[in-house]
Chains A and B, each alone.
Chain A
Amino acid sequence: MNDDRPHIEYIGVRKRYGRSNWVVSDLDLRVRRGEFLTLLGPSGSGKTTCLMMLAGFEAPSAGEIRINGETVDGLPPDKRGIGVVFQNYALFPHMTVGGNLAFPLEVRGMAEPERRERVDQALALVRMEGFADRRPDQLSGGQQQRIAIARALVFEPDLVLMDEPLGALDRRLREELQYEIRRIQQQLGVTVVYVTHDQQEAMAMSDRVAVFRAGRIEQAAAPEVLYEEPQRAFVASFIGENNLLPGRIISINRGVCAVEVNGRQIEASHVGNLPAGAETLVAIRPERVKVTREAGHFANEHEARVEDISFLGDHLRVRLSVCGNSSFIAKIPNIVGHGGILPGDLVNVGWAALDCRALEAESS
């Protein structure tokens, strides 16, 4: 198969129910074969609808979805051959684990001996050997999800969709299963489209993350790119943590611009094509902020007052007043000699111009 061709294409897809607002609007997205793509966004942002349209449970109101270059418009879900893992597992309670796994093989008319072999393989894949005769309600949540994953894979689809599969599990189990899913995906080389609202999960697992907001994709990129180079303020605040300072661009000079924030001037990377004079939001990651008692280390250096300090083990979280903004956060690694600052101290904060991006100011 030609690997240059995208596995999945959304072309101008829109969706609404009845005469409501658009749940998904103008979606254009391509997924490579073997890619692990995560649709990330707050609830109601349209990511699950995108997934359901791909699976065939919903039909686009406009636009087209292609798989392997062919439109799947009007193709019922059972003809698409896509594995789907649901948030509530959707294991059939009246069948054993083995029965659940054999189900997709049975409806495909596979003979018993081969079926059993494939079921055993699938159980081995999710490390659940020996559970074939249990009933789903005898399994823990994590075990049930492994079985649900195995069931979505047992008929060897080349595309698997996962709709918040770890949403109902506790944190430790989630992390464990994140690695499992990633391992299995890489082992089998299947394409995975994964939906979550948990950005850490998205970062940890994905080749690429598409950030959804109000039915649109804000930015789709590899996790590092999203983190380091957010194109929009929503992405900057949704992925990781960011201090966002509202200001106005004064001048632009070769990728660096000067921004006026409450009468102070900040140097920042110039993102997009905001002209001089435009409103902007300056984004600075808290861990990139240095807090010192001396001055003169950085292009951006400002006086600040320490408002309060939280001790979080590996780092200190310091809230400061900077440039008239009293909820400015800085993270100071918990290493020897972090300064011994106290609330009420007057300090200097500074950061590199590269670590600070002037983004388009948004209405919301």
Chain B
Amino acid sequence: MRIKGPRATAVALTLPLLAFIGLSFVAPLGTLLSKSAYDPNVANILPRTLAALDGWSGGGLPAEAAFAAIAEELPKARQARTLVRVAGPVNRLKSGLRRVLARTARQVEKTEYAGSWRAALIGIDPAWQEPDTWLAIQAAGARFTLRHYLQALDLERRPDGDIGLRPEQSRIYVPLLWRTLLVSLGVTLLCLAIGYPIAHLIATSPPKRSNLLLLMVLVPFWTSLLVRTTAWIVLLQRQGVINSLLVSMGITPDGERLELIYNMTGTFTAMTHVLLPFMVLPLYSVMRSIPPTHMAAAASLGANPVQGFLRVYLPQTLPGIGAGGLLVFILAIGYYITPALVGGRSGQLISNMIAYHVQTSLNWGLAAALSSILLVAVIGLYLIYSRLIGIDRVRLS
């Protein structure tokens, strides 16, 4: 097919946008997803060691060649400051090996070769005589791996090769994922419960009043994260405005001030507040398009207000409920700063762990695997939604 004339110009005009989307969305997302299963760092930094380990599978200690190779490659990595890239992944496979690798890299430089690298390394750290150490290096050296996904699902590959649940005290991510989904669902329902009447009020008010109301709904949108969070702390803490008000009105005794923050209440309050506009706006735009005569018609046909609402109004707002719900839910899944600040322990959501692994533990593979699982969950929800309501009926504005 040949595109010519004005059409070609039109296509050409979209190129910057496509390039932008490609560079800012597709490429980073692709890189991220690839990191969850592809990690060439260890393989690139310890090529000879891994080659020497080729064929060895945990029966006894590896050959002297492997000891010699790693004795050469570790100090080299240390000098190139790439030891971190090896030590991190290896340590995740067997806790404590970060220290062993670091110490060895440092000590080997000062050690004279005395006929056996095996003896030398074991002399530096006894961990070198454990096959597990070598197995961990070997496993970390695999360029392609599913272990991040296993870990993200609280699974592990047992020594016999079977896949099973991790020990209970280290199962983190699946419970967190459930908590995240439940919190997001709760926030979505709260937003709906609060946002529906607000949207209705705005949609049926005269323009002057509806603009003012809309402005009030949008204010949290425009407020900086820190100001918003601080405001909630000032309001909700034990000596905060709300508690003091309740105490001064004699509703709660001074000794029994309500715990409104640093728990689930805080998480729900702050998240609902900031996500409310995403529920109100789609609902508002849908409600505004419903002629007021529909409810009048329902009444004239004999429907009482409840019947009229349930049978006539509510079904027509479903696209708005769907769009708002989907938006709020997806955004809630990705929230982590606000809940961490006002939610206390309950404010730990899956995104906190992703941020932790990206920023602090530098375990990008696991972060990518967690992100991918979240992405799949969101896509799944989207598909269910488009099946149930039809994505073409979503109205955002």
Contacts and interface: CB of A to CB of B under 8 A. Distances in A.
Contacts of A87: 293
B86 to A, nearest CB: 61
B303 interface: yes
Nearest to B299: A77
B301 interface: yes
B315 A94 contact: yes
Nearest to A160: B300
Given A92-B312, A93-B316, A94-B315, A84 B303 contact: no
A156 B316 CA distance: 27
Contacts of A108: 302
Given A103-B311, A107-B307, A90 B302 contact: no
Interface string A139-166: 0000000000001100100000000000
Given A57-B296, A92-B294, A103-B311, A78 B304 contact: yes
B225 interface: no
A84 B316 contact: no
Given A94-B316, A103-B311, A107-B307, A155 B299 contact: no
Interface string B285-322: 00000010110111111111101100110011010000
A88 B293 contact: yes
A240 interface: no
Contacts of A86: 293, 296-297
Contacts of A94: 315-316, 318
A82 B296 CA distance: 12
A90 B291 CA distance: 8
Contacts of B316: 92-94
Interface in B137-168: none
Nearest to A99: B311
B302 A104 contact: yes
A141 B303 CA distance: 25
Interface in A72-104: 76-78, 80-84, 86-88, 90, 92-94, 103-104
Q: Is the interface of A mostly helix, strand, loop or mixed?
A: loop
B291 A77 contact: no
Residue among A76, A78, A83 with max Cβ neighbours from chain B (10 Å): A78
B291 A88 contact: yes
A55 interface: yes
A170 to B, nearest CB: 21
A112 B299 CA distance: 21
A77 B300 contact: yes
- Give chain A's interface residue range (CB within 8 Å of chain B): 20 to 34
A104 B301 contact: yes
A83 B300 CA distance: 6
A56 interface: yes
Given A90-B291, A90-B293, A84 B315 contact: no
B303 A107 contact: yes
Contacts of B299: 56-57, 76-78
Contacts of B296: 55, 57, 77, 84, 86, 90
Contact of B301 (A88, A93, A155): A155
A84 B302 contact: no
B302 A78 contact: yes
A321 B296 CA distance: 52
Contact of B303 (A80, A81, A103, A151): A103
B302 A55 contact: no
Interface in A288-338: none
A90 B294 contact: yes
A103 to B, nearest CB: 6
B300 A84 contact: yes
A274 B304 CA distance: 53
A86 B295 CA distance: 12
A92 B290 CA distance: 10
B301 A103 contact: yes
A310 to B, nearest CB: 41
Given A90-B296, A155-B301, 12 more contacts: A78-B301, A78-B304, A80-B300, A83-B301, A84-B297, A84-B300, A86-B293, A90-B294, A103-B301, A107-B302, A107-B311, A152-B300
Interface of A: 55-57, 76-78, 80-84, 86-88, 90, 92-94, 103-104, 107-108, 151-152, 155
20 contacts: A57-B296, A76-B299, A77-B296, A77-B299, A78-B298, A78-B300, A78-B302, A86-B297, A87-B293, A90-B293, A92-B312, A93-B316, A94-B318, A104-B301, A104-B302, A107-B303, A107-B304, A108-B302, A152-B300, A152-B301
